[in-house]
Amino acid sequence: MCIALGLVAMLTALGGIYWDVTWHATIGRDSFWIPPHILVYAGVTLLLLSSLGGFALTWRHAGQLRTALANRAGGGFVIAALGPLIQIIAAPLDELWHSLYGLDVTIWSPPHLMGIAGGVVSIYGLLTALGSELPGGDARPVWRGLALREALALLLFSAALLLLLFALSDMDFHLERRDVLLYPLLAGALAAVPLMGAARYIQRPGAATVVALLYTIYRSLVLLIIWAMGSTDHLTPPVFVLAPAVAIDLVLRWSRQQGVCRAALCIGPALLTGEWGYRAVFGAPAWAPLQVVTALTVVAVAVALGGLAGDRLAALLRGE
Protein backbone atom coordinates (compact mmCIF):
# COMPACT_ATOMS: atom_id res chain seq x y z
CA MET A 1 0.00 0.00 0.00
CA CYS A 2 2.77 2.47 0.92
CA ILE A 3 4.65 1.68 -2.30
CA ALA A 4 1.47 2.31 -4.32
CA LEU A 5 0.98 5.66 -2.53
CA GLY A 6 4.60 6.53 -3.23
CA LEU A 7 4.04 5.76 -6.91
CA VAL A 8 0.94 8.00 -7.02
CA ALA A 9 2.96 10.75 -5.33
CA MET A 10 5.76 10.39 -7.87
CA LEU A 11 3.40 10.56 -10.86
CA THR A 12 1.66 13.60 -9.33
CA ALA A 13 4.96 15.42 -8.93
CA LEU A 14 6.00 14.47 -12.48
CA GLY A 15 2.80 15.96 -13.88
CA GLY A 16 3.55 19.11 -11.90
CA ILE A 17 7.06 19.54 -13.26
CA TYR A 18 5.90 19.27 -16.88
CA TRP A 19 3.16 21.79 -16.14
CA ASP A 20 5.73 24.01 -14.42
CA VAL A 21 7.93 24.24 -17.52
CA THR A 22 5.05 25.33 -19.75
CA TRP A 23 3.77 27.72 -17.05
CA HIS A 24 7.12 29.51 -16.86
CA ALA A 25 7.40 29.67 -20.64
CA THR A 26 3.90 31.04 -21.31
CA ILE A 27 2.89 32.90 -18.12
CA GLY A 28 6.08 33.55 -16.15
CA ARG A 29 6.89 33.17 -12.49
CA ASP A 30 5.50 35.82 -10.16
CA SER A 31 5.94 33.81 -6.93
CA PHE A 32 6.94 30.41 -5.61
CA TRP A 33 3.31 29.49 -4.85
CA ILE A 34 2.12 29.01 -8.41
CA PRO A 35 -0.25 26.06 -9.13
CA PRO A 36 2.41 23.80 -10.73
CA HIS A 37 4.69 24.19 -7.70
CA ILE A 38 1.79 23.37 -5.36
CA LEU A 39 1.11 20.19 -7.35
CA VAL A 40 4.81 19.22 -7.34
CA TYR A 41 5.25 19.68 -3.60
CA ALA A 42 1.94 17.99 -2.83
CA GLY A 43 3.43 14.95 -4.56
CA VAL A 44 6.72 15.39 -2.71
CA THR A 45 4.92 15.59 0.66
CA LEU A 46 2.85 12.50 -0.08
CA LEU A 47 6.00 10.66 -1.14
CA LEU A 48 7.71 11.52 2.14
CA LEU A 49 4.70 10.48 4.22
CA SER A 50 4.20 7.20 2.34
CA SER A 51 7.90 6.31 2.69
CA LEU A 52 7.91 7.08 6.42
CA GLY A 53 4.67 5.14 6.79
CA GLY A 54 6.18 2.14 5.02
CA PHE A 55 9.17 2.19 7.33
CA ALA A 56 6.93 2.55 10.39
CA LEU A 57 4.94 -0.53 9.34
CA THR A 58 8.16 -2.46 8.73
CA TRP A 59 9.46 -1.41 12.16
CA ARG A 60 6.22 -2.48 13.79
CA HIS A 61 6.36 -5.87 12.08
CA ALA A 62 10.06 -6.37 12.90
CA GLY A 63 9.67 -5.32 16.53
CA GLN A 64 13.07 -3.59 16.75
CA LEU A 65 14.55 -0.58 14.97
CA ARG A 66 17.81 -2.39 14.16
CA THR A 67 15.92 -5.31 12.64
CA ALA A 68 13.75 -2.97 10.58
CA LEU A 69 16.80 -1.12 9.24
CA ALA A 70 18.50 -4.41 8.35
CA ASN A 71 15.38 -5.54 6.46
CA ARG A 72 15.49 -4.80 2.71
CA ALA A 73 11.99 -3.33 2.81
CA GLY A 74 12.84 -1.12 5.78
CA GLY A 75 16.11 0.04 4.23
CA GLY A 76 14.31 0.72 0.96
CA PHE A 77 11.74 2.95 2.63
CA VAL A 78 14.50 4.88 4.40
CA ILE A 79 16.22 5.50 1.06
CA ALA A 80 12.86 6.47 -0.48
CA ALA A 81 12.32 9.05 2.29
CA LEU A 82 15.68 10.68 1.51
CA GLY A 83 14.44 11.64 -1.96
CA PRO A 84 11.72 14.10 -0.92
CA LEU A 85 14.02 15.51 1.75
CA ILE A 86 16.52 16.36 -1.00
CA GLN A 87 13.70 17.93 -3.01
CA ILE A 88 12.46 19.97 -0.05
CA ILE A 89 15.99 21.29 0.53
CA ALA A 90 16.18 22.16 -3.18
CA ALA A 91 13.05 24.37 -2.99
CA PRO A 92 14.55 27.34 -1.04
CA LEU A 93 17.79 26.95 -2.99
CA ASP A 94 15.79 27.26 -6.21
CA GLU A 95 14.14 30.43 -4.90
CA LEU A 96 17.56 31.83 -3.99
CA TRP A 97 18.93 30.86 -7.41
CA HIS A 98 16.13 32.77 -9.14
CA SER A 99 16.67 35.84 -6.97
CA LEU A 100 20.39 35.84 -7.86
CA TYR A 101 20.30 34.84 -11.53
CA GLY A 102 16.70 35.35 -12.68
CA LEU A 103 14.57 32.83 -14.55
CA ASP A 104 16.33 29.68 -15.75
CA VAL A 105 16.86 29.24 -19.47
CA THR A 106 17.41 25.49 -18.98
CA ILE A 107 16.46 22.71 -16.59
CA TRP A 108 20.17 22.22 -15.88
CA SER A 109 20.41 24.42 -12.78
CA PRO A 110 21.77 23.00 -9.49
CA PRO A 111 18.41 23.13 -7.61
CA HIS A 112 16.57 21.49 -10.50
CA LEU A 113 19.17 18.74 -10.76
CA MET A 114 18.86 18.23 -6.99
CA GLY A 115 15.11 17.73 -7.47
CA ILE A 116 15.64 15.20 -10.26
CA ALA A 117 18.25 13.37 -8.17
CA GLY A 118 15.83 13.25 -5.24
CA GLY A 119 13.19 11.62 -7.42
CA VAL A 120 15.67 9.02 -8.67
CA VAL A 121 16.71 8.24 -5.08
CA SER A 122 13.07 7.72 -4.08
CA ILE A 123 12.37 5.38 -7.00
CA TYR A 124 15.50 3.38 -6.14
CA GLY A 125 14.31 3.10 -2.53
CA LEU A 126 10.80 2.01 -3.45
CA LEU A 127 12.12 -0.60 -5.89
CA THR A 128 14.50 -1.87 -3.20
CA ALA A 129 11.59 -2.25 -0.79
CA LEU A 130 9.52 -3.93 -3.49
CA GLY A 131 12.30 -6.31 -4.52
CA SER A 132 12.30 -8.01 -1.14
CA GLU A 133 9.22 -10.02 -2.19
CA LEU A 134 9.28 -9.84 -5.99
CA PRO A 135 8.15 -13.02 -7.78
CA GLY A 136 10.62 -14.72 -10.08
CA GLY A 137 10.96 -17.59 -12.53
CA ASP A 138 7.85 -16.89 -14.63
CA ALA A 139 8.63 -17.41 -18.32
CA ARG A 140 5.30 -16.02 -19.58
CA PRO A 141 5.15 -12.56 -21.20
CA VAL A 142 4.72 -9.81 -18.66
CA TRP A 143 1.18 -8.99 -19.83
CA ARG A 144 -0.03 -12.48 -18.87
CA GLY A 145 -0.66 -13.25 -15.21
CA LEU A 146 0.93 -10.04 -13.94
CA ALA A 147 1.39 -9.94 -10.15
CA LEU A 148 0.64 -6.74 -8.25
CA ARG A 149 4.29 -6.26 -7.27
CA GLU A 150 5.36 -6.70 -10.88
CA ALA A 151 2.81 -4.10 -11.98
CA LEU A 152 4.13 -1.66 -9.36
CA ALA A 153 7.69 -2.32 -10.52
CA LEU A 154 6.77 -1.60 -14.14
CA LEU A 155 5.12 1.67 -13.13
CA LEU A 156 8.10 2.69 -10.99
CA PHE A 157 10.53 2.04 -13.83
CA SER A 158 8.31 4.06 -16.17
CA ALA A 159 8.36 6.90 -13.62
CA ALA A 160 12.16 6.68 -13.62
CA LEU A 161 12.14 6.86 -17.42
CA LEU A 162 9.90 9.94 -17.32
CA LEU A 163 12.11 11.67 -14.77
CA LEU A 164 15.39 10.87 -16.53
CA LEU A 165 14.17 11.98 -19.95
CA PHE A 166 12.82 15.19 -18.41
CA ALA A 167 16.46 15.88 -17.54
CA LEU A 168 17.18 16.20 -21.28
CA SER A 169 16.11 19.84 -20.85
CA ASP A 170 15.31 21.62 -24.15
CA MET A 171 15.77 18.41 -26.12
CA ASP A 172 12.71 17.01 -24.37
CA PHE A 173 10.59 20.08 -25.06
CA HIS A 174 11.65 21.03 -28.60
CA LEU A 175 11.81 18.33 -31.28
CA GLU A 176 13.93 20.53 -33.57
CA ARG A 177 16.69 20.73 -30.94
CA ARG A 178 17.30 16.99 -30.98
CA ASP A 179 20.53 16.70 -32.98
CA VAL A 180 21.90 13.53 -34.48
CA LEU A 181 24.73 12.95 -31.97
CA LEU A 182 24.35 14.59 -28.55
CA TYR A 183 20.64 13.87 -28.32
CA PRO A 184 20.79 10.08 -28.90
CA LEU A 185 23.86 9.87 -26.66
CA LEU A 186 22.00 11.47 -23.74
CA ALA A 187 18.54 10.06 -24.44
CA GLY A 188 19.89 6.58 -25.13
CA ALA A 189 22.09 6.42 -22.04
CA LEU A 190 19.35 7.79 -19.77
CA ALA A 191 16.62 5.55 -21.20
CA ALA A 192 18.81 2.46 -21.22
CA VAL A 193 19.11 2.33 -17.43
CA PRO A 194 15.39 1.95 -16.56
CA LEU A 195 14.58 -0.08 -19.70
CA MET A 196 17.32 -2.65 -19.15
CA GLY A 197 16.78 -2.40 -15.40
CA ALA A 198 13.10 -3.31 -15.76
CA ALA A 199 13.85 -6.22 -18.09
CA ARG A 200 16.45 -7.68 -15.75
CA TYR A 201 14.65 -6.82 -12.50
CA ILE A 202 11.30 -8.35 -13.45
CA GLN A 203 12.89 -11.07 -15.61
CA ARG A 204 9.88 -11.63 -17.84
CA PRO A 205 9.56 -11.14 -21.61
CA GLY A 206 8.17 -7.77 -22.62
CA ALA A 207 9.02 -5.83 -19.44
CA ALA A 208 11.05 -3.13 -21.20
CA THR A 209 8.39 -2.69 -23.88
CA VAL A 210 5.64 -2.24 -21.28
CA VAL A 211 7.74 0.36 -19.44
CA ALA A 212 8.23 2.27 -22.72
CA LEU A 213 4.49 2.08 -23.46
CA LEU A 214 3.60 3.36 -19.99
CA TYR A 215 6.05 6.24 -20.43
CA THR A 216 4.57 7.08 -23.84
CA ILE A 217 0.97 6.97 -22.57
CA TYR A 218 1.65 9.15 -19.52
CA ARG A 219 3.75 11.64 -21.45
CA SER A 220 1.10 11.85 -24.20
CA LEU A 221 -1.67 12.43 -21.64
CA VAL A 222 0.34 15.25 -20.08
CA LEU A 223 0.83 16.72 -23.55
CA LEU A 224 -2.92 16.57 -24.32
CA ILE A 225 -3.82 18.17 -20.98
CA ILE A 226 -1.34 21.00 -21.52
CA TRP A 227 -2.62 21.50 -25.06
CA ALA A 228 -6.17 21.70 -23.68
CA MET A 229 -4.97 24.40 -21.29
CA GLY A 230 -3.83 26.51 -24.25
CA SER A 231 -0.06 25.95 -24.17
CA THR A 232 1.17 24.29 -27.36
CA ASP A 233 4.65 25.69 -27.92
CA HIS A 234 6.76 24.15 -25.17
CA LEU A 235 6.03 20.44 -25.03
CA THR A 236 6.55 18.12 -27.99
CA PRO A 237 5.66 14.42 -28.39
CA PRO A 238 7.48 11.92 -26.16
CA VAL A 239 10.90 10.51 -26.94
CA PHE A 240 10.58 7.43 -29.14
CA VAL A 241 11.80 4.79 -26.70
CA LEU A 242 9.62 1.97 -28.01
CA ALA A 243 12.23 0.91 -30.57
CA PRO A 244 15.06 0.37 -28.04
CA ALA A 245 12.66 -1.26 -25.58
CA VAL A 246 11.49 -3.81 -28.14
CA ALA A 247 15.12 -4.43 -29.13
CA ILE A 248 16.06 -5.15 -25.52
CA ASP A 249 13.18 -7.59 -25.05
CA LEU A 250 13.80 -9.42 -28.32
CA VAL A 251 17.53 -9.83 -27.77
CA LEU A 252 17.11 -10.97 -24.16
CA ARG A 253 14.40 -13.39 -25.28
CA TRP A 254 16.38 -15.07 -28.06
CA SER A 255 20.02 -14.66 -27.05
CA ARG A 256 20.74 -17.16 -24.32
CA GLN A 257 24.45 -16.38 -23.92
CA GLN A 258 25.75 -12.85 -23.38
CA GLY A 259 22.23 -11.54 -24.04
CA VAL A 260 22.71 -8.49 -21.82
CA CYS A 261 25.76 -7.27 -23.74
CA ARG A 262 24.07 -7.78 -27.08
CA ALA A 263 20.90 -6.09 -25.92
CA ALA A 264 22.90 -3.15 -24.55
CA LEU A 265 24.64 -2.68 -27.91
CA CYS A 266 21.26 -2.59 -29.69
CA ILE A 267 19.79 0.26 -27.62
CA GLY A 268 21.61 3.18 -29.25
CA PRO A 269 21.10 2.15 -32.90
CA ALA A 270 17.44 1.31 -32.21
CA LEU A 271 16.83 4.73 -30.67
CA LEU A 272 18.69 6.52 -33.45
CA THR A 273 16.90 4.80 -36.33
CA GLY A 274 13.52 4.94 -34.56
CA GLU A 275 13.85 8.65 -33.92
CA TRP A 276 14.86 9.19 -37.55
CA GLY A 277 11.49 7.87 -38.75
CA TYR A 278 9.65 9.49 -35.82
CA ARG A 279 10.82 12.94 -36.91
CA ALA A 280 9.29 12.43 -40.34
CA VAL A 281 5.90 11.61 -38.79
CA PHE A 282 5.82 14.90 -36.86
CA GLY A 283 7.25 17.01 -39.67
CA ALA A 284 10.61 17.82 -38.06
CA PRO A 285 13.67 18.30 -40.29
CA ALA A 286 14.90 14.82 -41.21
CA TRP A 287 18.38 13.65 -40.34
CA ALA A 288 20.48 12.80 -43.37
CA PRO A 289 21.22 9.06 -43.79
CA LEU A 290 24.95 9.77 -43.69
CA GLN A 291 24.54 11.55 -40.34
CA VAL A 292 22.76 8.53 -38.88
CA VAL A 293 25.36 6.10 -40.16
CA THR A 294 28.20 8.27 -38.85
CA ALA A 295 26.64 8.53 -35.39
CA LEU A 296 25.77 4.82 -35.08
CA THR A 297 29.08 3.50 -33.75
CA VAL A 298 29.66 6.24 -31.19
CA VAL A 299 26.08 6.13 -29.97
CA ALA A 300 26.00 2.32 -29.78
CA VAL A 301 29.10 2.10 -27.61
CA ALA A 302 28.23 5.02 -25.32
CA VAL A 303 24.61 4.00 -24.80
CA ALA A 304 25.59 0.37 -24.18
CA LEU A 305 27.23 1.55 -20.95
CA GLY A 306 23.83 2.78 -19.80
CA GLY A 307 22.35 -0.63 -20.58
CA LEU A 308 25.05 -2.41 -18.57
CA ALA A 309 24.43 0.04 -15.70
CA GLY A 310 20.74 -0.90 -15.84
CA ASP A 311 21.64 -4.59 -15.61
CA ARG A 312 23.83 -3.91 -12.57
CA LEU A 313 21.09 -1.78 -11.00
CA ALA A 314 18.60 -4.64 -11.35
CA ALA A 315 21.01 -7.01 -9.59
CA LEU A 316 21.41 -4.57 -6.70
CA LEU A 317 17.66 -4.06 -6.40
CA ARG A 318 17.07 -7.80 -6.25
CA GLY A 319 19.87 -8.25 -3.73
CA GLU A 320 21.96 -10.47 -5.99
Confirm whether 4 is domain-assigned.
yes
- How would residue 231 be classed by pLDDT, with cut points 50, 70 and 90? low
- List, for residues 250-272, the tens digit of each pLDDT value: 998 887 545 888 888 889 889 88
Across residues 298-314, what is the average pLDDT?
A: 90
The confidence score (pLDDT) of residue 18 equals: 82
Query: In terms of Cα–Cα distance, which of 12, 31, 24, 57 is closest to 170?
Result: 24
- Domain membership of residue 140 (yes or no) is no
Q: What is the pLDDT of residues 18-48, one digit of tens each?
A: 877 777 666 666 666 778 778 888 888 888 8
pLDDT at 134: 66
C-alpha distance from residue 12 to each of 19, 43, 239, 256 (Å): 11, 5, 20, 39
Give the pLDDT mean for 98-127.
78
Q: Examine the fold and report which residue of 81, 105, 133 is the final residue of a domain before the chain moves on.
A: 133
In-domain check, residue 155: no
Q: How far apart are the first and last CA of the chain?
A: 25
If pLDDT is split at 50, 70 and 90, which confidence band does 315 have?
Answer: confident
292-311 burial: b if 16+ Cβ within 10 Å, else e = beebeeebbebbbebbbbbb
pLDDT tens digits for range 85-109: 888 888 777 777 666 666 655 677 7
Q: What is the pLDDT of residue 36?
A: 78
Whether residue 161 is contained in a domain is answered as no
Q: Is 183 part of a structural domain of the chain?
A: yes
* Same-domain pairing of 129 and 12: yes
Are 125 and 198 contained in the same domain? Answer: no
Residue 153 lies in a domain: no
pLDDT at 195: 95
Are residues 104 and 28 located together in one domain of the fold? yes
Same domain, yes or no: 83 and 8: yes
HEC string of 152-214?
Answer: HHHHHHHHHHHHHHHCCCHHHHCHHHCCCCHHHHHHHHHHHHHHHHHHHHHCCCCHHHHHHHH
What pLDDT band is residue 214 in, cutting at 50, 70 and 90? very high
Residue 163 in any domain: the answer is no
Residue span of the structural domain in which 283 resides: 173-202+212-320
Task: Work out the average pLDDT over 307-312.
Answer: 91
CB 118 within 8 A of CB 85: yes
Under a CB-based contact definition with an 8 Å cutoff, are residues 196 and 311 in contact?
A: yes
Average pLDDT on 200-217 reads 91
Residue 40: name the closest of 60, 20, 65 by CA.
20
Rounded percentage of the chain residues whose pLDDT exceeds 70: 88
Longest dimension (CA), the chain: 64
Which of 85, 105, 133 marks a domain boundary? 133
* pLDDT digit string, tens, across residues 37-81: 788 888 888 888 888 888 888 878 877 777 777 777 778 888 888
Angle at 128 between CA 150 and CA 140, to 5 degrees: 25
Query: Considering the chain, what is the average pLDDT of its residues?
Result: 82
3-state secondary structure of 238: coil
Instruction: Compute the CA torsion angle 204, 209, 213, 214 (nearest 10 deg).
Output: 40
Express each pLDDT in 140-163 by its tens digit: 888 887 888 888 899 999 999 998
Nearest to 81 by CA among 41, 115, 44, 111: 44
CA dihedral 27, 98, 161, 34 (to 10 degrees): -40
